[in-house]
Structure 1
């Protein structure tokens, strides 16, 4: 099996920063990105190209845009080398100090707590801004002064007494640092080169930032961190998608992955350190799907849309706005409560789409054109210029309308979970209703200043480009999945380096904060470079049970139960291990491999004298339908004569679908499985350990097992 020092899953703001910093420090780094590379000039523009520009491998699509839809929220994220930087709007704003909150209550209970401060991040903010070439929009320079949408936002903010600024943008307006900004000049490559080998040109104000910059003017991560990472030896592998994560006995991780387009079988690679940077949805999905034993129960929690809103100001009476001229965002208005409003932009071809969509006015113009032509035939007037001009119209809708973007602090009370193989979101925007109402109210007032009509149609729901949470950081395992530097509690060398680690909304555009936190995370890894990795001792044993379902259908399973870290397994209340092997039942099509399985040994029951041994096995039946076998052994207070019966009898339920903990499924059968004395004897010969101190670990396990039985069945209990 191939082995590397560090495997980075994903190439967005967390993964790219980690790859560069660790490769620079001398680690052997492999980056796996599920999408392809997008050099300048390759981004889709035609209808035919756009139709294939989405990410849905099941439908044969391996494009740039990955669109998620949940009950109260839709999201657009990216798939490609450089992650979200390929389609974001370039803004690099820092999270405000006062919003690194401590113990901010949530409506459903619990608290938002940031175990980090602005002071801790400021040096990393500085480093990222330098690398990304952050520069404010050069509004006072020749060629940029007539950016009408920027002036409109500046004037509206002044009228309303709001704080307006030109935020730092990761865009090249000049051919090299310190040079004069000028449109369309060739950019000088930095010392680390350009991984695409394609010439780049300074921003031509085309408004195409959010659909990929074909000029290469965006200082996206492929042009910055990833080019530098490759220069230092990082291996960048596109169309590689991480699927499975398994802790290795003694430390490190084994990672299963597939190659896309065409799809390959699952392959494996091992690493000492694994950095998860597949985005909020991708990273959370990986952790939920692989169910690492003992991971924090906060996994999936603290989802937030970063308070994102997109609305529109239509037909401004005060002035032309020309939203299609300039980068997508050039300026930002900060509200007193810490929310932000930024003007949007769009490509010039959207002007035509907007006018074509204005059906009422278009119909009137068409009727007039027909009437004028009929009149012209009668009067023999053959000059069509005036009629064609009127047919095209004044372009009022496109020339005087503006997308307007809001973001801030919604309530991070959403929960991401698995329903079968699908990621679902339980989140009700109602808890953030007051926040959304205030932000929309300010947007309306900006529209009033410009004499524009405010509209949030056709969206009328939360659309976020900034999903956050799912694997939140915390001070301890009861509060978060990872610590303030992204290392997952209980799993040395496993890191979360993307928006999933955010315990709440960032407020402004979160890209810079994600990158800064990844830079800080890299400091920890590099300072530990020469220190030995923490070692773990694994313990496993094999168990066979047989019985019946539904009163007569034969059923059996053969599973190997593995605790990857004996010490953690013994100290955690749920005593969770993984289970692998097969089930054998005619009702399920014969012998079927277990895809995922979990085992709890002496987990707490309904009372202090009650323990449970729990089994949850996911497999597919002979018709490839997902199934779940649930089993429980009830170890209850009673006479010692009950010990054998309780520990050898498994009450079982066969369910339709993959049923996760806390979910309910349709029951296909119930029954009882038992282990025979002969099978028990064989099981005792299967115990083995991997890693240092195996004999001592086995002794600790035996003492724990006998101690739990004594607590339940011993005299006087």
Structure 2
């Protein structure tokens, strides 16, 4: 019988949340597997002919394994992606940050309830920076030709000026120049990255073809396969494509089992498999992740599962017969799909109603599909048949929520000069609910009713833009039935402060299920308002930082009012009016399995930790005989599965040695879980013994420790000793540690000074000359 495969971490999906997680977990040294249902697409692989586009949809039951996955629900339709790189393959490259004041807190919803974001713009700011740096963003370079003559960009700028609205060029994940300092030029080979591209194909700068939404065949688009996923693969992440996850289960002893099928497009066959892991990151998209959680029926799942669904206010409309500055028909091609945006302010920042963005759309530049043998009358016939079937479905209520196979019959279309698509998105009302019907199919209960005021404002503004451009405004045909089509479905497993409010905590870890994370649009508790890709990626960066380092503060995995895994000493972190102090310590050494006592030899395997020690109240710490602080971070132990998050940690400074004799100790007690889900405790101590001052360095930088089975607290009987070892602080790490001291509160400088005097005084008490220590 074949043994089941077990790894440190499994990431389901490779979109903006999953790609980030794959890279950061691999970077931390964890054995990481990414399971992506779609196939990889190198530059040149994306479909272009009518025959190819007819197969570019995802519906394995019809032997379709393409990248467009189209869904139909009550009140809305949606287009999402299937392929290595997820939504980055077909999105329009915009990487906007969520507006600071749009991170609402307990904002009442029209239909009842409230919207609450347990994170802030300040929480995400450094992670926004990290994503932009990793992906590489450039704004549409209107300062240079040929970009300066783009008609639709000029038209949007002119309309915004006449209407008194803010116009800007958003950051785009497109390479217009071979490197950021170079002059933008089309079709120039890109500079090499620090890591090899996983496709091994030549990439060139943007040639202004407008094909962003159907896959960039030039590699100009900095999609996730060219950035995060290539970096992850370089660090050893195992990227498995055409592997669709069907279910998740609890693993005996801890961790998770992931059931999947491997698709074979050649035969249409499927091979089943199961993968075990200690950490499981769900990033299969709003629909995929929510469906997996709903179908898994994992114990203790929050009742908030399926809630807070919305379409991020997406609305597609058209301006016909639009003219540019030269009064000629506006050509929406010859540029990326989106080049500029108009911002509608929110009532939270000076506007009227819920805020929104309006962005210029475009069409692909190729117009020769008809010349490639496309039977236009036949295409019209197929369109009529499709619409008739949809009409009958509408009347009968037939529950066919996946339209990919049908739309595959309608692939095709031409670009129309003078037609400008308008892409709207914003803060609609997140009051939809996702659920499974009796057949196990995903359903969505959402309508435009509670968001009608928002959509009316958006449509009115688009009509005004059309008036400025001398254009005829048209809603998309779906609006006639009060339906919208979204490319940004969000919610279903929202972040919250406690299980009554959300499925995940503010770091994306599912309440009550340690090691299970949600890292995609499903975790968002409401609309981003702007294009959500950057916010999803930033939340994933923040999730990984906490998962691996544990230094962003308490709260991971904890319900409101409960003790978090980081181990708050005062029951609530730094209290009002008090001053906290923290510093980071890194130690490295050896672990000897089976040893009962620490030894200083070089035998054994590697073990290290990096901890952030936090004194929540400096004054209380200095007067408490136990001098106890929180310890958060990770333990890196290959025998236990690589880097393991410290789930609960305690640090005691200068406490008396239990054996008497006037000696003192620095004590560490760290709870973690190994790769098989087994609870473990690292119990360590530094001996500060009476001796000459030359002993200060070795004594304060040497930690003796044992690893015990189970999670045991101070003064409790220790579990079975699994092994022991010794760790040390290297001089370089010590010098870095000195730069990590931070304070927070009203008395920071004084608190740091008092702590420093206390620390040096305690060392003097142990290592100073006897006559001086005995002096009154």
Residue by residue, what CA displacement relative to the aligned partner does 1:3-22 show, whole Å, maximum 9, x if unpaired?
Answer: 11110000000000011111
Match of 1:578 in 2: none
Match of 1:599 in 2: none
1:367-406 equivalences under 5 Å are 398-406=416-424
Match of 2:507 in 1: 485
Residue by residue, what CA displacement relative to the aligned partner does 1:155-178 show, whole Å, maximum 9, x if unpaired?
Answer: 111111110001000000011231
Q: CA deviation at 1:525?
A: 1.4
Q: Is the 8 A contact 2:168 2:340 kept in 1?
A: yes
Match of 1:418 in 2: 436
Q: Is the 8 A contact 1:468 1:501 kept in 2?
A: yes
Match of 1:180 in 2: 183
Q: SS of the counterpart of 1:16?
A: helix
Match of 1:292 in 2: 298
Q: Does 1:409 align with 2:427?
A: yes
Distance (Å, rounded) in 1 between the aligned partners of 2:548 and 2:41 = 30
Q: Is the 8 A contact 2:364 2:415 kept in 1?
A: no
Q: Is the 8 A contact 1:344 1:403 kept in 2?
A: yes
Q: Is the 8 A contact 1:249 1:691 kept in 2?
A: no
Q: SS of the counterpart of 2:449?
A: helix
Q: SS of the counterpart of 1:76?
A: strand
Aligned partner of 1:151 among 151, 154, 158 = 154
Q: Is the 8 A contact 2:178 2:205 kept in 1?
A: yes
Match of 1:17 in 2: 20
Match of 2:269 in 1: 263
Q: CA deviation at 1:311?
A: 0.3
1:15-414 equivalences under 5 Å are 15-261=18-264, 262-317=268-323, 318-337=327-346, 338-349=355-366, 398-414=416-432
Distance (Å, rounded) in 2 between the aligned partners of 1:96 and 1:163 = 14
Q: CA deviation at 1:266?
A: 2.5
Q: Is the 8 A contact 2:263 2:271 kept in 1?
A: no
Q: CA deviation at 1:692?
A: 7.6
Distance (Å, rounded) in 2 between the aligned partners of 1:515 and 1:238 = 21
Closer, same or farther in 2 for the Cα pair 1:205/1:298, shift >3 Å? same
Match of 1:469 in 2: 491
Distance (Å, rounded) in 1 between the aligned partners of 2:341 and 2:679 = 57
Distance (Å, rounded) in 2 between the aligned partners of 1:692 and 1:324 = 59
Match of 2:522 in 1: 500
Q: SS of the counterpart of 1:80?
A: coil
Distance (Å, rounded) in 2 between the aligned partners of 1:350 and 1:443 = 27
Q: Does 1:435 align with 2:423?
A: no
1:635-650 equivalences under 5 Å are none
Distance (Å, rounded) in 2 between the aligned partners of 1:515 and 1:184 = 28
Residue by residue, what CA displacement relative to the aligned partner does 1:118-143 show, whole Å, maximum 9, x if unpaired?
Answer: 00000000000011111110011122
Closer, same or farther in 2 for the Cα pair 1:352/1:53, shift >3 Å? closer
Distance (Å, rounded) in 2 between the aligned partners of 1:293 and 1:429 = 34
Match of 1:588 in 2: none
Q: CA deviation at 1:184?
A: 0.6
Closer, same or farther in 2 for the Cα pair 1:61/1:484, shift >3 Å? same
Q: SS of the counterpart of 1:48?
A: helix
Distance (Å, rounded) in 2 between the aligned partners of 1:263 and 1:298 = 36
Residue by residue, what CA displacement relative to the aligned partner does 1:249-270 show, whole Å, maximum 9, x if unpaired?
Answer: 3321111111012433421110
Distance (Å, rounded) in 1 between the aligned partners of 2:65 and 2:364 = 23
Q: Does 1:445 align with 2:464?
A: yes
Residue by residue, what CA displacement relative to the aligned partner does 1:278-308 show, whole Å, maximum 9, x if unpaired?
Answer: 0000000000011111100010010010000
Distance (Å, rounded) in 2 between the aligned partners of 1:691 and 1:276 = 22
Distance (Å, rounded) in 1 between the aligned partners of 2:274 and 2:313 = 39
Residue by residue, what CA displacement relative to the aligned partner does 1:169-205 show, whole Å, maximum 9, x if unpaired?
Answer: 0000011231111001111220111100010110000
Give the structure-1-normalised TM-score: 0.67
Distance (Å, rounded) in 1 between the aligned partners of 2:228 and 2:207 = 23
Residue by residue, what CA displacement relative to the aligned partner does 1:603-657 show, whole Å, maximum 9, x if unpaired?
Answer: xxxxxxxxxxxxxxxxxxxxxxxxxxxxxxxxxxxxxxxxxxxxxxxxxxxxxxx
Match of 1:520 in 2: 542
Q: SS of the counterpart of 2:464?
A: helix
Distance (Å, rounded) in 1 between the aligned partners of 2:187 and 2:273 = 44
Q: Is the 8 A contact 1:300 1:471 kept in 2?
A: yes
Distance (Å, rounded) in 2 between the aligned partners of 1:263 and 1:122 = 45
Closer, same or farther in 2 for the Cα pair 1:264/1:457, shift >3 Å? closer
Distance (Å, rounded) in 2 between the aligned partners of 1:42 and 1:189 = 21
Distance (Å, rounded) in 2 between the aligned partners of 1:187 and 1:321 = 31
Closer, same or farther in 2 for the Cα pair 1:286/1:115, shift >3 Å? same
Q: Is the 8 A contact 1:330 1:343 kept in 2?
A: yes
Q: CA RMSD in A?
A: 2.4
Q: Is the 8 A contact 1:314 1:397 kept in 2?
A: no
Closer, same or farther in 2 for the Cα pair 1:11/1:53, shift >3 Å? same
Q: Is the 8 A contact 1:148 1:320 kept in 2?
A: no
Give the structure-2-normalised TM-score: 0.62
Q: SS of the counterpart of 2:149?
A: coil
Q: Is the 8 A contact 1:486 1:497 kept in 2?
A: yes
Distance (Å, rounded) in 2 between the aligned partners of 1:351 and 1:255 = 45
Q: Is the 8 A contact 1:351 1:398 kept in 2?
A: no
Q: Is the 8 A contact 1:351 1:399 kept in 2?
A: no
Q: SS of the counterpart of 1:316?
A: coil
Match of 1:456 in 2: 475
Q: Is the 8 A contact 2:321 2:330 kept in 1?
A: no
Distance (Å, rounded) in 2 between the aligned partners of 1:97 and 1:458 = 34
Q: CA deviation at 1:329?
A: 0.1
Q: SS of the counterpart of 2:186?
A: coil
Distance (Å, rounded) in 1 between the aligned partners of 2:425 and 2:130 = 25
Gaps of 5+ in 1: 360-395, 536-689, 697-717
Distance (Å, rounded) in 1 between the aligned partners of 2:163 and 2:338 = 20
The runs of at least 4 consecutive aligned structure 1 residues that moved more than 4 Å come to 350-353, 356-359, 690-693
Residue by residue, what CA displacement relative to the aligned partner does 1:487-530 show, whole Å, maximum 9, x if unpaired?
Answer: 0000000000000000000000000000000000000111159x
Distance (Å, rounded) in 2 between the aligned partners of 1:357 and 1:72 = 33
Q: Is the 8 A contact 1:315 1:397 kept in 2?
A: no
Q: SS of the counterpart of 2:69?
A: strand
Distance (Å, rounded) in 1 between the aligned partners of 2:447 and 2:92 = 27
Q: SS of the counterpart of 2:467?
A: helix
